[in-house]
Amino acid sequence: MKRVIGRKVLLLFVVGDILGAGIYALVGKVAGHVGGALWLPFLVAFVLAALTATAYAELVGKYPQAAGAALYANKAFRIPFVTFIVAFSVMMSGITSASAAARAFGGRYLAEFVTLPVIVGAFLFLGLVTLVNFAGISESVKVNVVLTIIEAFGLLVIIAIGVYALLAGDGDPGRALEFHPAHGAFLGVLGGTALAFYALLGFEDSVNLAEEARDPQKDYPRALFGGLVAAALIYMAVAFTATMLVDTRTLVASTGPLLEVVKVAGFAFPPKLFALIALLAVGNTALINMLMASRLVYGMARQRIIPSFFGAVHPTRATPWVAIVFTVGIAAVLVATGDVGPLADTTVLLLLLVFALVNVCVLLLRKDRVEHAHFVAPTWMPALGAVVCLFLALPVTGRSGDVYLRAAVLVGIGVVLWFVNRFFVGRIDEIDVTKINPPG
């Protein structure tokens, strides 16, 4: 790949990758854990995400290849099954994230235009995303760029509303300091943080640009940490505005919490226009994740680590149509059986386990020396990151049992595919992970 991406473009990509459906859909859900001080879980989630970000920053600089967590697991453990499970878990996290976005799409924001049952709107949305995915990678990426700009604009609108409210003396800023945890202070913040983590998960996708960055050893750590800080500040400003202008009970009950903010704003911004922006933002999250998931399935099939028919390519569109059908089929089942909060929580659970492994990998790979200079994380940060990720994955956060069951079933599908494939293909001694990861 050509190394054409500079530091500024990389920074914008990281910010765009993080911003998405999470903040548009989950502000109310997070408020349900902590009350008015819903900015607090976003702050804690940022601090905890930064620990794992140090591991990614070191590993991307050390191994500037577009393969991510699967590459690091492969280098650290040299066990093909572990490498596969990591890649498959990342793929399934994309599908659960897209499913959560689909449920969010079918809720309050869509109701601004048409009244449909949430599940009907979600299925229609999945169908539209599938058509864009099927059309081709070039078309999908172009749509993604436009939608990223639109979703960022929507969040800036909310921040502008907050600034105007403060200057005009509107709203109740004191409400942002009201702390009413649902299950005690510690568990309230913990549960809210585990859910807010969903809004910051996008940064791990940015490793796919490692092979196209001009100087990944220097540029990627700065872009990664800068992007995380920028996204965290935007999220906290949006959360503060939401709780200042809208009472907690309304936020918790709404499937379109930011639309409630627009409707009580001191200056006129068309609610329908904002609802459209939110729908496009939610759509962007789903499109990114379904693109990633289908290409990962295709890549794994081409590497013959799952049945090869998943690698079938459409003769005219040149898209992996079997992988697309497979991933959207799983998403449809998830949409029919889960709601926004539990599906987002399943995404977080899967990626927390992947993040824990990445933090362990960076420590194990310290013995693997490379000739070029690169960022080196303070040892305590990835070590603490691994502990924090495993802790947040525990039921102590208030995560329901169906989330663990859903995650186990999804990973179990991968285990079945692995052993079915091994029965027909035979033992796999090595996986070229650079050929199973989707393009940046």
| CATH class of the domain at 7-435 | mainly alpha
pLDDT in tens, the chain (440 residues): 455 566 677 777 777 778 777 788 888 888 888 888 889 999 999 998 999 999 999 998 888 776 678 888 988 998 989 989 998 998 899 899 999 989 988 888 999 999 889 999 999 989 988 887 787 555 555 666 677 788 889 999 999 999 998 888 888 888 888 887 777 777 888 888 888 888 887 777 767 666 566 777 778 888 888 888 988 999 999 999 999 999 988 988 888 889 999 988 877 789 999 999 998 888 877 877 888 788 888 888 887 788 888 888 888 877 788 999 999 999 999 999 989 889 989 999 999 999 999 999 999 999 988 888 888 999 999 999 999 999 999 988 888 899 999 999 999 999 999 888 888 777 777 776 766 665 44
Q: Give dist(CA 275, CA 258) in Å, integer.
A: 9
Question: What pLDDT is stored for residue 326 in this prediction?
Answer: 94
Closest CA to 279 of 96, 93, 129: 129
Exposure pattern of 264-286 as b/e (b: 16+ CB <10 Å)? ebeeeeebeebbbbbbbbbbbbb
Round to whole Å and give the CA distance between 263 and 193. Answer: 27
Amino acid at 436: I
Q: Would you say how long the chain is, in residues?
A: 440
> What global pTM score does this model have?
0.88
> What's at 111, amino acid-wise?
A
Closest by CA to 219, choosing from 206, 201, 204, 231, is 206
End-to-end CA distance of the chain: 10
Neighbouring C-beta atoms of residue 439, cutoff 10 Å:
15
Q: How far is CA 194 from the centre of its chain?
A: 13
